Structure 1
Amino acid sequence: MSSASPAGPDPSDPAGWDPESVVSPEPRPRDGWWSALAGVVATAAGLAVAELVAAFVDPSSSPVVAVGGAVVDGVPGWLKDLAVSWFGTADKAVLLATMGVVSLAGAALAGVLERRRPPWGAVLLGAVGVVAAVVAAGRPGANIAWALPSLLGVVAAIALLSALLRRVETWFAEDERPRADRRYAIDRRRFLQWTGVTAAGAVVVLGVSRVVSAGGRAVTAAREAIRLPRPATTAPAVPAGADLGVEGAAPYVTPNPEFYRIDTALVVPQVDPDDWSLTVTGLVDEPFTITWDDLLALPLEEHHVTLACVSNEVGGDLIGNALWLGYPVRELLARAKPQGGADMVLSRSTDGFTAGTPLEVLQEADRDCLVAVGMNGEPLPTEHGFPARLVVPGLYGYVSATKWVTELKVTRFADEQGYWTPRGWSALGPIKLSSRIDVPRPGDDLPAGAVTLAGVAWAQHTGIERVEVRVDDGDWVAADLADTVGPDTWRQWRLDWDATPGDHLVAVRATDADGNLQVEAEAPPAPDGATGWHTIELTIT
């Protein structure tokens, strides 16, 4: 009995062998990359759904905002200081970008896991969604509804991932079929169509969420409609000599768009003034609450005050001077009548941030501590605390400058702590005497001859008496000082130098009105502010 005929032509028979009839093995397509793409697209769509739900619940309930806020709250002081020193006011953008990269990698991993080891991809997404929901529900001012955006978003992401991976499975299952029956092009096209539609849908949903979340636009419109009342007490006019007119030096008054912003809010709170109120409570005999209209009806005062961030490095730019309009905090405290034994006021922001300020500082008759509503002649910008914030001369912002302030709680340092104190920062934060060289800047092309050195110096609530400059190992030379409104603001300084060719080291130091010389020893910002003389290296040609 003869054996069965071979399925195809016998290559050993030259007469019967047709090379064109041989089915060449096709390389098996790698489905890992496509599974990863499915994970990324599905996760992005889930996040878009979460943003849409958050627009109805509360913008701060977004998983991105909630988790990002938790990260900000959880970082130790040294890491926060490092981030600010590296990235300055771009620290939040860097955090969001980092979260985006991590999310992208996690989404890709979920797609691959779900394709190769189901249901572990879905489990990974589900776990992340549940964690985000728990974090959101636990944020300051949150309620159980804040968990909904994360939960509904992750459900959508898992469903979409499953749908996309079914298309991947159909596409690559064709590899097992005879060549004539394969439909790579059709199934690949279907997968790409599904992916494209999902991605486009995510973009649309995200856009709709921005339209629905009209709170920001409503607050902007409300702010633009406000006409601040004329102050009962006006600030002294800025002397003509307060600005020395040196190009590149910081102006005496910092324009609002250029004023530094350092806070813990990942997304700027949008507070409608009609919904805002300030409560004075705690260890007081007569607690009370005032509304926005109540605050504007009080006799407001104008004062020029320089604010500084404790994270400011020697020579840094996390400092600015502005004209503030507001009501004295000491008057609000006097109305509430603090009880004996109280020594601290814990101010609270609408986003949960708190700052502990010495009660006696806020009560000083000659210190212009304000619940501010205006900045440089206009309502506070939203990023600087609209509708109201605290302004306290002489203290770093982390213990005083609460934005979007809603509560002043009279208490004791022994009983309460501000946001940054348990994270390693000092409970008291007096601003340290300091000075800075603004011009010239290292790297400037400077020919020999007349060179102008200029900058600013500050000793808030004490005032600057003298600024001195030293070149290399020479003598300290007194610089010319600009005029100033008062001791609560910085002062410009200037020195004309006859520069000689070569490399030079320029240093600056200041002396305050009490005769204290700026500390030479270098210290980092943590835990209570940086010290040291600002120096720059210059090359004169």
Structure 2
Amino acid sequence: MDKRVQVFALAGISGVAGSYALAGYTRQFIVAPIDAVVVRSTPGPIVAWMITNVGDAGHLLHIALSMAIAGVLLGTTAVLGQFVGAKLDRWFLAPGVAGVLAWALTVAITTEPVLSLGAALPVALFTVIGAGSLSTADHDPSRRRALGSIQSAIGFVVVAGGAGWIKTNSDTETADEEPASDPPSPVTRRLEEANTQSLDLAADNVPGLVSSIGEFYNVDIAEFDPEIADDDWSMGLTGEVETEFSVTFEELTDRPTEHRYVTLRCVGESLNGRKLDTAVWTGTPIKPLLEEADPEGDCDCAMLRAEDGYFVQFPVEALEDAFLAWEMNGRPLPKSHGHPVRVLVPGHWGETNVKWLTEIELLDEAMDGYWEQRGWHGTGPVNTVAKLWDDTRLDDGRIEVAGHAYAGTRGIERVEVSTDGGASWTDATLSAPLPGEDVWRQWSHVYEPTGDHEVVVRAIDGEGDRQPRDQSDSFPSGATGWVSKEISA
């Protein structure tokens, strides 16, 4: 291998690994800001295609690309260091120049001078093996030395990877339900209520009426979540208002508190996907804050902005029943779900329920939000869906099919099941409705199978409208259609 190529590769890889060792998988990792640029620069049609056709694996591709870019940038500093050393015929300058360039580059990307040493030092170290290579062959390493350098780099990457993993997981969030209290807290009572009203299913793959925090689906525009301490958080109400002001976390949590069941569904999921979950959220209504801001004139839109650069526009009237949440299932809102505060807007797709909320700007005319700029259809209400998540053969030979149904604030009135491909229909058994206007319901149906057959499910919402039969992909308005499955007798 050409020595310059070798130095370029080893310095780039080890520099990325060194940054990971000190920063962990956080926004201070050199890859994180690059990934944010990659995500925001990707054209909307490509994003839509990736979501529809690649799904969750898509984030691995943009992370891999971002790591490659970081490696190329750091590897280039090593080559430049080599070049300067050779040009001046001072080979010993090469690692110092490379290290300084790598440090300056990483600081420019991450704004973290100390943590940037994690990338700079290994770049300088692995530049040493190629010092002076552009001017003389006397310093060319032997094959054995080259192999030793590669082995050293591999060893360093392994050690750095372990250190980065420890750094990343040392502050792992506790993601479970609220512990029992005496007397039971409002959240504990809600969790118990949901557990009591869940159907007694044979299925193992159908969650209860409240999802655990660790199992609750999670989708963000970028891979690396913001980290905001409670004391550092504030939210501004700005724009077309009589009085602009901000509220701190302490001031927000001193307001009247509610505990709501709220279901969220991902607009980008497949028709029978599993990005649909429910939690008990603790927070306060947003309407009093809007009234305090006193919107001016014909102001009928609001732009909600987040710490990670995400933004969503809503009609102001849609926010009148919205909710600012700071707890989830009795725990402080996890970082991955928007700590310290997120918004929940009843009946709207999960993507519009902004995490890490920092500003509500009142507008006098509508503007496109983040996903609207990429071709998705804004903040419309969620589509009605009945999910068929499990089929279980019982001991007596019958089959139980089960899942969840959701229609946003319209609620679920019935779920119908066909075991003959849609020729005939039977009402499924439904869980009792939980309190709240934006909550899913479980359904199940047990029947005697007669040969191979197709099971189809459809929901009827609280307004009497049946789930549309025609199927469509998630882009641009969310997946629609009846869910079906072929089952062998």
Normalised by the length of structure 2, the TM-score is 0.80
Match of 1:44 among 4, 13, 17: 13
Distance 1:448 1:79 in 2: 49
Residue number in structure 2 paired with 1:484:
433
Distance 1:537 1:458 in 2: 23
Residue number in structure 1 paired with 2:130:
165
* Superposed displacement of residue 79, structure 1: 3.1
Distance 1:451 1:242 in 2: 19
Distance 1:423 1:146 in 2: 32
Amino acid at match of 1:238: A
Aligned counterparts, 1:47-446, within 5 A: 47-48=16-17, 60=27, 62-86=29-53, 88-100=55-67, 145=111, 162-166=127-131, 187-197=142-152, 237-238=193-194, 240-247=196-203, 248-363=205-320, 367=321, 369-399=322-352, 401-414=353-366, 416-440=367-391
Give unpaired runs (5+ residues) of structure 1.
1-30, 176-183
Amino acid at match of 1:240: T
SS in 1 for 2:410: coil
Are residues 102 and 290 of structure 1, via their aligned partners in 2, closer, same or farther at CA, if it must alter by over 3 Å?
A: closer
* Superposed displacement of residue 411, structure 1: 1.5
* Superposed displacement of residue 103, structure 1: 6.6
Distance 1:360 1:271 in 2: 29
SS in 2 for 1:69: helix
Q: Decide whether the 8 Å contact of 1:393 with 1:488 is kept in 2.
A: yes
Verify: 1:495 aligned to 2:451, yes or no. Answer: no
* Superposed displacement of residue 512, structure 1: 0.8
Distance 2:455 2:44 in 1: 31
Q: Write the deviation string for residues 113-150 of structure 1: whole angstroms up to 9, x where unpaired.
A: 9999x99xx9xxx9xx99x969976xxxx8xx479988
Q: Decide whether the 8 Å contact of 2:269 with 2:478 is kept in 1.
A: yes
Q: Decide whether the 8 Å contact of 2:82 with 2:131 is kept in 1.
A: no
Distance 2:335 2:139 in 1: 57
* Superposed displacement of residue 243, structure 1: 3.1
Q: Decide whether the 8 Å contact of 2:326 with 2:333 is kept in 1.
A: yes
SS in 2 for 1:39: helix
Residue number in structure 1 paired with 2:423:
474
Q: Write the deviation string for residues 269-303 of structure 1: whole angstroms up to 9, x where unpaired.
A: 21111111111111111221111111221111111
* Superposed displacement of residue 431, structure 1: 0.5
Amino acid at match of 1:438: W
Distance 2:360 2:469 in 1: 37
Q: Decide whether the 8 Å contact of 1:238 with 1:484 is kept in 2.
A: no
Distance 1:81 1:269 in 2: 24
Q: Decide whether the 8 Å contact of 1:66 with 1:136 is kept in 2.
A: no
* Superposed displacement of residue 445, structure 1: 7.4
Residue number in structure 1 paired with 2:91:
none
Q: Write the deviation string for residues 243-264 of structure 1: whole angstroms up to 9, x where unpaired.
A: 3434222311111100000011
Q: Decide whether the 8 Å contact of 1:133 with 1:149 is kept in 2.
A: no
Amino acid at match of 1:381: P
* Superposed displacement of residue 46, structure 1: 2.8
Distance 2:302 2:268 in 1: 22
Amino acid at match of 2:27: S
Amino acid at match of 1:500: T
* Superposed displacement of residue 100, structure 1: 4.3
* Superposed displacement of residue 169, structure 1: 8.7
Percent identical among aligned pairs is: 30
SS in 2 for 1:509: strand
Distance 1:321 1:190 in 2: 58
Amino acid at match of 1:510: A
Amino acid at match of 2:371: W
Amino acid at match of 1:298: R
Q: Write the deviation string for residues 1-22 of structure 1: whole angstroms up to 9, x where unpaired.
A: xxxxxxxxxxxxxxxxxxxxxx
Amino acid at match of 1:259: F
Distance 2:309 2:431 in 1: 40
Amino acid at match of 1:38: V
Q: Decide whether the 8 Å contact of 2:325 with 2:344 is kept in 1.
A: yes
Amino acid at match of 2:41: G
Which has the larger displacement, 301-310 or 468-477?
Answer: 468-477
Residue number in structure 1 paired with 2:459:
510
* Superposed displacement of residue 63, structure 1: 3.3
Residue number in structure 2 paired with 1:179:
none
Distance 2:289 2:71 in 1: 50
Residue number in structure 1 paired with 2:90:
none
Distance 1:483 1:391 in 2: 23
Residue number in structure 1 paired with 2:89:
none
Larger Rg: 1
Normalised by the length of structure 1, the TM-score is 0.73
Amino acid at match of 1:70: V
Q: Decide whether the 8 Å contact of 1:231 with 1:300 is kept in 2.
A: no
Q: Decide whether the 8 Å contact of 2:404 with 2:442 is kept in 1.
A: yes
Please, what is the CA RMSD of the aligned residues?
4.5
* Superposed displacement of residue 89, structure 1: 4.2
Distance 1:529 1:62 in 2: 34
* Superposed displacement of residue 84, structure 1: 3.6
Distance 1:249 1:219 in 2: 26
Residue number in structure 2 paired with 1:519:
468
* Superposed displacement of residue 432, structure 1: 0.9
Give unpaired runs (5+ residues) of structure 2.
87-93
Are residues 170 and 193 of structure 1, via their aligned partners in 2, closer, same or farther at CA, if it must alter by over 3 Å?
A: farther
Residue number in structure 1 paired with 2:482:
533
* Superposed displacement of residue 372, structure 1: 0.3
* Superposed displacement of residue 230, structure 1: 6.8
Distance 1:453 1:49 in 2: 50
Distance 1:259 1:133 in 2: 37
